[in-house]
Structure 1
């Protein structure tokens, strides 16, 4: 059984059995038909994924690996905030008529700051420190910029990464304020697992643990029957993650630098409605 499947099942059972419903509150998200999108949630989930043991992708249903990577590269490598630079359509509902999502995600990572070593954006600062200051306890990114929140189409959900080097191993913590467990949980886990592998490789390190901290882990009301069906499925073995070993420059990775061997997820026919 995939460890990612075990964690996902345990999280979802905990939320459904012990979570708190917000049906008595006014909520911002809504369904396409205008109906309020209520949730059942748990506060403060912490999950650990050992990237040396296996790649944390669900087998209970397919997680679209290449599309995950497309979005990851769009944010962390291109540092774009325009959907015209993105292959997929997951951001279409939040973009304006020009394709912009405002001063969100990639925009925040692209802003340069002044350091004694020179002007760098957040990604370049991480890359510099991993190579030159691996003992630092200050290697992190944060895109939850209060000054710009009013100009963001959507406040960042996955907003902060903290990196820590132990010996020759790169570990990381992903902090997330809000998590749609069905639509986005494994999507984000896969993305940031890939990111840790990328940063480790170009820094001469090996990928270690990814710790995922979720403040508000929730299941939407219309997702409950879909989750319940998934909980009845038998997980399959985790696939092998393959990264092109010749890439030593973070900005040279492409979607084709990564692949999965033996990924055989369970069939999944349900259409997942997305709350906006």
Structure 2
């Protein structure tokens, strides 16, 4: 079985068997019919993925790889908050009258800041340090900007990425305040695994570990039966990640430059409801 499947299923089992329900609390999320969307959760889950060994895509259900890469590039490469710049409709429900999601996600990464070496946005600063100061322990991003939260249509879930170089290996820590395990866990893992590969390729390094820290890892009440079904499945071996060998510029990558080879997965007939 793939290691990503092993971790995901272990997380879900732990949440269902040992987690805490919020059914006695007032919650913000709602289902489409207006019913409160309650969850069972575990606090402080930490998962480690060795990107040298395998690519961490789930096989007990399909992860829409091309769409998740497209969203990651929308945030990290285009630094956009305009939903028209996406090729999917996953952000449509959070778009405002101006066609943006407000000052969230990609917007924050594109804001330029003054450093001793000059003006950089957060992504360019990380690329600069990887090239000029790889021993730095300050190569990180943060898009949870309190001053702008009131202008964000959705507060960032995955909010901080820390990069760290050890020898010729690039490792990363992804910090996430909240994680819908069924709909978004592997989506985010695949996105940031690809992102680490992009930073590594652009810097002449080898992708190493991705450490995923989740403060509130939860399963929604209407997702429990689907998760239990996934837990009964026998996973397939992990797929292999292909990256276009001709691309080394961080800003030249397109979704077509990444492919999963030998990706076998179980189909999921049920439509997964998404809480808003």
TM-score (norm 1): 0.99
Q: For residues 77 and 257 of structure 2, what CA distance do their matches in structure 1 show?
A: 14
1:33 aligns with 2:33: yes
3-state SS of 2:235 partner: coil
Aligned to 2:213: 213
Q: C-alpha distance in 1, partners of 2:213/2:116?
A: 32
Q: Do residues 162 (structure 1) and 190 (structure 2) align?
A: no
Distance apart, 1:267 and its partner CA: 1.6
| Counterpart in the other structure of 2:23 | 23
**1:148 aligned onto 2:148:** yes
Q: How does 1:110-129 map to 2 (within 5 A)?
A: 110-129=110-129
Q: Partners of 1:211 and 1:270 in 2: how far apart?
A: 30
Find the aligned partners of 1:260 and 1:249 in 2 and give their Cα distance: 21
- Counterpart position of 2:199: 199
Q: How big is the alpha-carbon RMSD for the aligned residues of Structure 1 and Structure 2?
A: 0.5
State the Cα distance separating 1:116 from its structure 2 match. Answer: 2.1
In 2: Cα distance, 1:186 partner to 1:248 partner? 26
> How far did residue 270 of structure 1 move?
1.0
- DSSP-derived class of the 2:141 partner: strand
Deviates more, 1:115-124 or 1:206-215: 115-124
SS at match of 1:79: coil
User: Counterpart of 1:69?
Assistant: 69
Number of residue equivalences: 276
How do 1:1-276 and structure 2 match up within 5 A? Answer: 1-276=1-276
Moved over 3 A (4+): none
Displacement, 1:268?
Answer: 1.1
Instruction: Point out where structure 1 has 5 or more consecutive residues left out of the alignment.
Output: none
Give 3-state SS (helix, strand or coil) of 1:142's partner. coil
TM-score scaled to structure 2, two decimals?
Answer: 0.99
Q: What does the per-residue CA deviation read over 1:3-58, in whole Å, with 9 as the maximum and x for residues that have no partner? A: 00000000000000000000000000000000000000000000000000000000
Return 5+ residue gaps in structure 2 as ranges.
none
**Residue 140 of structure 1: how far off its partner (Å):** 0.1
SS in 2 for 1:40: strand
